[in-house]
Amino acid sequence: MDSEPAAALEISALVKTFDRPAVDGLDLSVKAGEFYCLLGPNGAGKTTTLRMVAGLLRPDSGGISIFGIDALRDPVGAKRVTAWVSDEPMIYDKLTPFEYLEFVAGLWSIDSAEADARARDLIGWLGLEPHAHERCGGFSKGMRQKVALAGALVHDPKLIILDEPLTGLDAGSARIVKDVLLQRVRKGMTVIMTTHILEVAERMAERIGVIDRGRLIANGTLDELRRRAGREGTTLEEIFLQLVAEQEQAA
């Protein structure tokens, strides 16, 4: 019997340079079934890293392994178990949420009966029922984000990567999104999320990584980060600002 690899994501010596190094020899490991938050100041390399993991950018060098699948050698295999949700939900204005989910199910070759049932569940959980057969063109950002999230979950990925999924959402929508993600983690899904809302990371993440100038400068549970910063009982915000300031000084 195949045993599930311990790591959902293994990144080793990852490098990506545009006009300057965006990701600079990054090493990162995320356990299977973990809720992991990746934090960092603007331009730190979070989105670039996650876009490479999702197969949207080709790294200059380094390795990416998703549940033991080499994402650079077998991108289709890696994509089969992964979902990506960007901060700007890109959905089709002329399709309804149901049609959008049917399209996504088609792209991932999911059996129609299975996908149909999942889609109805997701539409219900995310509170999209009244708008399920309306075209997405007139939807608010929150509704679009929920449709995009439903699209990411309809093929039941083992790893979901979300880039700033809560930006611009009202409190109610943000709560729904967070609840759905926590419920999925309980069922064994791995979630990797970037966010600038540090309270969310503090409350939801099992482990937190801090990235700056393309390098991982801290990684661990909140308590481990507190110990590393030498500030027991303090907030993640204080720790984050201290870590980034130390990094700035060192540079």
109 contributes a contact to other proteins by CB under 8 A: yes
Q: Cα separation of 220 and 57, whole Å?
A: 26
Shortest CA distance to 246 belongs to which of 220, 222, 210?
210
**How many beta carbons lie within 10 A of that of residue 123, not counting itself?**
22
108 contributes a contact to other proteins by CB under 8 A: yes
**Residue from 138, 187, 233, 250 in contact with other proteins (CB under 8 A):** 138
Q: Cα separation of 8 and 204, whole Å?
A: 18
To other proteins, the closest distance from the beta carbon of 127 in angstroms equals 17
To other proteins, the closest distance from the beta carbon of 116 in angstroms equals 4
Count of residues of this chain found to bind other proteins when the rule CB under 8 A is applied: 41
171 contributes a contact to other proteins by CB under 8 A: no
91 contributes a contact to other proteins by CB under 8 A: yes
To other proteins, the closest distance from the beta carbon of 99 in angstroms equals 7
Contact code string over 35-64 relative to other proteins, x by CB under 8 A: -------------------xxx--------
User: DSSP string of 17-60?
Assistant: ESSSEEEEEEEEEEETT-EEEEE--TTSSHHHHHHHHTTSS--S
| Residues 176/127, Cβ–Cβ less than 8 Å | yes
| Residues 92/136, Cβ–Cβ less than 8 Å | yes
Nearer to other proteins, 51 or 184 (CB): 51
| Residues 38/209, Cβ–Cβ less than 8 Å | yes
**Residue from 151, 165, 209, 214 in contact with other proteins (CB under 8 A):** 151
**Which spans of this chain sit near other proteins (rule: CB under 8 A)?**
54-56, 76-77, 79-80, 82-84, 86, 90-96, 98-99, 101-109, 111-113, 115-116, 119, 133-135, 137-138, 151
